[in-house]
Structure 1
Amino acid sequence: MHIAKHTPLSSTELGTLWMTYQTKTMMLQIYAHLLEGAKDEEPGQIMTYDRDKTAETVSKTREMFREAGAAIPQGFTEQDVKRGAPRLFDPVFEVMYLRMMSKVFTGLYALYNSMSYRSDIRQLYRRLTMESQEIYDRTTELLLEQGTLIHPPDVTMPREVEFVRDTSYMRGINPFGSKRSLNTVEVGHLYQAVETNLCGMQLMTGFAQGAAEPEVRMYFTKGKNLAKKIVQELSGVLMNSDVPAPAPWAGKATDATVSPFSDKLMMYNTSLLSNFGLGSNALGTAFSLRSDLPALMTSLSKDIFTYAVDGGKLMIKNNWMEEPPQMEDRKQLTRS
């Protein structure tokens, strides 16, 4: 039996719809700039497809807020994008950015679906997950065809099933003990983390060049250095097991020093990616059986968490952090 559409939104459903509205209105403004300068046919088609789907979702979530009697969030508006501004990134990086964001959204919407109870909201998140996967597929295929996306390393196929027979399999922290080679599960998480942070380095470079506020510029520069540190440390782990680390040679920030996006939008985008990085590191830690890897991931997670907290403080200082819907303060109501 389905929970009817007219059933009031639960607290979790209101929260996930609020987050969806924030991310989708942000992407609408990003597409407003990207499509101004899109010259290549295939990237333009991908952007137009996702822009149209994003606009549909914004309209749908607004309708849900109205039906629930909830205030419609501000999100991001035309004031967060400057029409006619120079391109902050080259065309290859723009596709890489869309691929990275599709990873974030695929994970978010699958999670939001598992937190939803009303059938219409579950249907919304199933559709959004499929749309994000569509963008991931199309951007990945395009970058592979261009030769600008490095394929993960090959591995010799196992010829028989093996079981771990000794706790030395987990050795890693002891500096005097030899570390076993990485298994393919560990390589997968490390490789993806390096790939994502390489993209993040370029994103932070462009944001730092274009930010209007000096303090915000410094924050993005700090983010670039953090991404660089993560790339260096995780690439070192891969190289020590003779596994080549990803090193894309294409896709970068331009020399523009004026951003088409507001500092508020760029800060929110950075916050979203920082939180995604924390979640990815947690997964990498959970599935790593070599003891040095969880220790390294935990250390990097602390750095990312500190960076995210500093970003939150900066957003609050500049009145850029929109407050999510709150639960009733029962203590305050009782005092009243």
Structure 2
Amino acid sequence: MKRTNSVALTSSDISPLWDMYQSETIIKWGIVYFLQHVEDNAIQQLLKETLTLVEKNLSHMEDIFQKESFQIPFGFTEEDVHLQAPRLFSDILYLEYIYNMTFFMMSMYSFAFSVADHKEISDYYAINLKAAIKLNKQAKELEKEKGIYIRSPRIPRQEKVAFVRDQNYLAGWFGERRPLLGMEITNLVFHSKRNALGHAVITGFSQVAQSKEVRRFFEKGRDISGKHLEVFTSILHEDFLSDGALLMTSEVTDIKIAPFSDRLMITFVANLIASSIGQYGFSISTSPRHDLSLQYSRLMAEVGKYANEGLKILIRHGWLEQPPMAANRNDLAK
């Protein structure tokens, strides 16, 4: 990437780049492992296209770090993957992972693009956002072809304009509860799918984690994601709507040999949690019904506490790479 001027990159340029480098090294080695076992030709092709995109992104990011004389992050390497390990997940779960991963990529690149100060960096994010959108569309269409894509429930066609006249529009815990809004249904279905995937992945991780401490951490996460899925499903059922997603634990094999390091698996789960917290917050802003807002707030607090436990494990083992930060002026003044 050629620099057109000497303007130094800011925290808004570098920090999202640093975070994405960490995440995409996890994605890279995950896909490299998946490709050792995938059998479906179409899913294999999608995995290869995703890997090509991620490797290209990592190369570009390393180029930017070098041009800025900024230390390239350590991230995750071939030491964090055991390619000879037996298959842990099915092809269907590989596909569901790629589809959900594109949401994470689109969210990250969209945010990074909006806050970037340097034109060349924002252009880089814009290109990657476009590529992530393309990948998302491919994965969604492939899920439809495979018959595993769960569509959101249908709602009645609105034939005339109407205005809210009743306070029960906001009610939830007390009084007559109105039916779910279309956007509220959309949020519940989205979170159901994310937690179904998370439950399956963490179930697999709990089987293969090498440390007892890490295994217990994953067992707790498995139970939390399963409970969250039940919460979202029960809310949909109150309005006689279909499930937003189904448990995917049948897509996890019974192997006990770890394909990934404990450090990689915990960091991957931490990324899932961070994404969930952000999405729960968005759902609060688009769900006027009070009971839904309180449910999301409660679930956010639960996963936030769980995320903190994961960070403590990473720090205790010396696994947490320090992100870019401001200078400590108090120490410098001593």
TM-score normalised according to structure 2 size: 0.96
Gaps of 5+ in 1: none
Letter in 1 for 2:177: K
How many Å separate the matches in 2 of 1:258 and 1:282?
Answer: 37
Q: 1:274 to 1:50 in 2, by over 3 A?
A: same
Letter in 1 for 2:92: V
Aligned position for 2:124: 124
How many Å separate the matches in 2 of 1:227 and 1:5?
Answer: 48
Identity of paired residues, percent?
Answer: 27
How many Å separate the matches in 2 of 1:199 and 1:247?
Answer: 9
Aligned position for 2:286: 287
How many Å separate the matches in 1 of 2:279 and 2:324?
Answer: 26
1:95-117 deviations in Å (ceiling 9; x for gaps): 10111111111111100111102
Letter in 1 for 2:186: G
Aligned position for 1:10: 10
How many Å separate the matches in 2 of 1:247 and 1:20?
Answer: 28
1:60 matched to 2:60: yes
Aligned position for 1:103: 103
Aligned position for 1:215: 213
Gaps of 5+ in 2: none
1:299 matched to 2:295: no
Letter in 2 for 1:331: N
Where 1:36 maps in the other structure, the secondary structure is coil
How many Å separate the matches in 1 of 2:53 and 2:227?
Answer: 36
Aligned position for 1:45: 45
How many Å separate the matches in 1 of 2:6 and 2:84?
Answer: 44
1:187 matched to 2:189: no
How many Å separate the matches in 2 of 1:117 and 1:247?
Answer: 39
Where 1:37 maps in the other structure, the secondary structure is coil
User: Which moved further from structure 2: 113-122 or 274-283?
Assistant: 113-122
Correspondences of 1:21-170 after superposition (within 5 Å): 21-170=21-170
Correspondent of 1:206 among 201, 204, 207: 204
Aligned position for 1:255: 254
How many Å separate the matches in 1 of 2:158 and 2:4?
Answer: 50
**Conserved? CA contact 2:196–2:247, under 8 Å:** no
User: Which moved further from structure 2: 305-314 or 41-50?
Assistant: 41-50
1:275 matched to 2:274: yes
How many Å separate the matches in 2 of 1:249 and 1:330?
Answer: 50
Where 1:13 maps in the other structure, the secondary structure is helix
Where 2:252 maps in the other structure, the secondary structure is coil
1:302-331 deviations in Å (ceiling 9; x for gaps): 001000000000111111110001211112
Task: Measure how far apart 1:39 and its partner are.
Answer: 2.0
Task: Measure how far apart 1:168 and its partner are.
Answer: 2.0
1:95-150 deviations in Å (ceiling 9; x for gaps): 10111111111111100111102121111111221222222211111111111121
**Conserved? CA contact 1:112–1:125, under 8 Å:** yes
**Conserved? CA contact 2:202–2:222, under 8 Å:** yes
Where 1:332 maps in the other structure, the secondary structure is helix
Task: Measure how far apart 1:5 and its partner are.
Answer: 4.9
Task: Measure how far apart 1:242 and its partner are.
Answer: 1.1
How many Å separate the matches in 2 of 1:305 and 1:247?
Answer: 23
1:324 matched to 2:323: yes
**Conserved? CA contact 1:5–1:118, under 8 Å:** no
**Conserved? CA contact 1:4–1:119, under 8 Å:** no
Quote the RMSD (CA, aligned, Å).
1.4
1:281-316 deviations in Å (ceiling 9; x for gaps): 001111111111101110011001000000000111
1:251-302 deviations in Å (ceiling 9; x for gaps): 6211111121111111111000000000010011111111111011100110
TM-score normalised according to structure 1 size: 0.95
Task: Measure how far apart 1:9 and its partner are.
Answer: 1.1
Where 1:88 maps in the other structure, the secondary structure is coil
How many Å separate the matches in 2 of 1:5 and 1:200?
Answer: 44
How many Å separate the matches in 1 of 2:251 and 2:5?
Answer: 45
Aligned position for 2:232: 234
Where 2:13 maps in the other structure, the secondary structure is helix
Residues matched between the structures, number: 331
